[in-house]
C-alpha cells in the first residue's frame, strides 16, 4: 500500500521584497502621472489662455467725456408773406446769404403784373417753413420748454418754383446767420461736468462738425438746469433743423486709451501686462483719466501689444 504524500506550503522568502518593489513602482508611476497631468494642464492652460487672450496694439488717441442731450434750435428768423396772389419765380436760391433789400422772388399776377419780393433783413434765405418760427424766438428763450416743444408736430411747408401763392400766405423766411441758440435741460450731475461758460458741441444732423458755444442758465430747480447755448459758427443744417440731439464735449484726454479691464493693480501701483516675444511682462503705467469703461494711460510705448484680459495670464508665462 502506497503511502500518501503530504504537501505543505513553504513560506516564500522573497514575498516582502516583491511587495516593496510593487509599492515603490506604484509610487513612481503615480509621481510620473501627476507630473504628466501638471505638464498637460500647464500646456493646455497656456494654449487655452492663448486662444482666449484679447490684446490691443497701443496707439496714442483722445478719450472724450460726452454728455448727450436733446434740445431745440432757436434762431433769429423773420417770415415773409406774399404781398399779392400769383405764381412764384425764385430769384435767390435756397441757402443764399442776402443783404437786406435784396430780391428774393417775383410773383407774377394773373393780370400780367410782376411783384418783386425783397429780403426784410440780411441773412440766409430759407424757402422751407416748419410752423414753429413764431413760437421760437431769441427774445423768448426763458419761456422755451425744450421737452414740450419736441412734442409739437412740425408743419413743413415748402413753395417750389412755379407754385401758386395767395396774398398774405407765408412762403419763405430770412434767418440771421450770425447767431443761433440751442436750448436744453440737463440733470444736475451732467451740468456739474460742464466747463464754465463755454463748451464744444456736435449735432446729430452734422456729426462731423464741432462748434464752440458759450452758455447761460435760463432756469433751474432741484433736479434740472435749463441752458441756452449761444453759437456763432455755421453748421450744415443749422438753418433748417429745429429739434436735434447733440453731444456736449466736456473733457478730452490725450494718451493711450485702453479698457479699464486691462489694468493690473499691485498695491498702490497700477500697470498692464504686455506680450514681448510671446512672454507676458508687467509694465507699470500712470493713469491720466477714466471715462466709463475706458482709461487713458502713459508709460507704454506706441506699438506695444497690451493684454486686455490680464486675469487669464501671469507674469513670465510663455504663450
H-helix or E-strand spanning residue 142 = none
Tell me the pLDDT tens digit for each residue of 47-71: 545 567 888 888 888 889 999 999 9
Alpha helices in 93-231 (DSSP H): 146-149, 188-191
Q: Which fold has domain 53-63+253-312?
A: 2.40.420
C-beta separation of 101 from 173 below 8 A? no
Q: How confident is the model at residue 149 (pLDDT cuts 50, 70, 90)?
A: confident
Has this prediction a pTM greater than 0.85? Answer: no
Domain layout of the chain by residue ranges: 53-63+253-312
Q: What is the mean pLDDT of residues 212-234?
A: 94
Instruction: Report DSSP letters for 218-258, one per residue.
Output: EEE-SSEEEEEEEE-S--TTTTT--EEEEEEEEEEEEEEEE
Question: Which position has the grid cell 492663448?
Answer: 50
C-beta separation of 239 from 75 below 8 A? yes
- Report CA torsion sign: 304, 307, 310, 314: negative
Distance CA 239, CA 236 (A): 8
Q: Would you give the distance in Å from CA 274 to the centre of its chain?
A: 27
Cell reading at 292 = 466709463
Tell me the pLDDT tens digit for each residue of 262-285: 999 999 999 999 998 889 999 999
Q: Check residue 34 and give its pLDDT.
A: 62
Q: Return the closest-CA partner of residue 139 out of 77, 225, 214, 211.
A: 77
Distance CA 135, CA 250 (A): 30
Q: Is the pLDDT of residue 169 over 70?
A: yes
Q: What is the mean pLDDT of residues 163-185?
A: 94
C-beta separation of 252 from 286 below 8 A? no
Q: What is the mean pLDDT of residues 135-151?
A: 88
Among 23-27, 253-257, 279-283, name the one with the lowest average pLDDT: 23-27
Q: Return the closest-CA partner of residue 270 out of 291, 289, 285.
A: 285
Cell reading at 176 = 440771421
Amino acid at each position: 500500500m502506497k503511502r500518501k504524500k503530504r504537501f505543505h506550503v513553504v513560506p516564500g522568502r522573497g514575498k516582502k521584497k516583491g511587495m516593496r518593489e510593487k509599492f515603490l513602482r506604484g509610487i513612481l508611476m503615480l509621481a510620473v502621472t501627476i507630473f504628466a497631468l501638471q505638464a498637460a494642464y500647464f500646456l493646455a492652460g497656456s494654449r487655452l489662455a492663448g486662444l482666449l487672450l484679447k490684446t490691443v496694439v497701443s496707439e496714442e488717441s483722445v478719450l472724450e467725456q460726452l454728455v448727450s442731450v436733446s434740445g431745440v434750435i432757436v434762431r433769429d428768423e423773420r417770415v415773409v408773406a406774399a404781398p399779392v396772389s400769383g405764381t412764384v419765380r425764385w430769384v435767390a436760391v435756397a441757402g443764399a446769404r442776402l443783404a437786406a433789400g435784396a430780391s428774393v422772388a417775383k410773383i407774377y399776377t394773373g393780370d400780367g403784373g410782376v411783384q418783386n419780393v425783397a429780403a426784410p433783413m440780411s441773412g440766409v434765405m430759407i424757402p422751407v417753413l416748419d410752423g414753429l418760427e413764431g413760437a421760437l424766438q431769441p427774445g423768448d428763450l426763458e419761456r422755451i420748454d425744450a421737452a414740450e416743444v419736441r412734442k409739437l408736430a412740425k408743419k413743413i411747408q415748402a413753395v417750389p418754383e412755379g407754385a401758386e401763392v395767395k396774398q398774405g400766405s407765408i412762403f419763405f423766411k430770412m434767418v440771421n446767420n450770425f447767431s443761433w441758440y440751442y436750448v436744453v435741460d440737463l440733470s444736475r450731475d451732467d451740468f456739474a461736468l460742464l466747463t464754465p461758460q463755454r463748451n464744444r458741441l456736435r449735432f446729430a444732423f452734422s456729426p462731423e462738425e464741432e462748434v464752440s458755444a458759450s452758455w447761460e442758465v435760463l432756469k433751474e430747480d432741484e433736479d434740472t438746469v435749463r441752458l441756452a447755448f449761444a453759437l456763432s459758427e455755421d453748421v450744415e443744417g443749422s438753418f433748417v433743423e429745429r429739434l436735434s440731439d447733440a453731444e456736449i464735449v466736456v473733457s478730452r484726454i490725450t494718451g493711450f486709451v485702453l479698457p479699464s479691464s486691462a489694468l493690473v493693480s499691485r498695491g498702490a501701483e497700477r500697470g498692464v501686462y504686455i506680450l514681448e516675444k510671446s512672454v507676458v511682462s508687467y509694465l507699470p503705467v500712470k493713469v491720466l483719466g477714466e471715462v466709463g469703461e475706458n482709461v487713458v494711460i502713459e508709460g507704454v510705448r506706441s506699438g506695444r501689444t497690451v493684454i486686455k484680459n490680464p486675469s487669464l495670464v501671469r507674469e513670465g508665462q510663455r504663450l
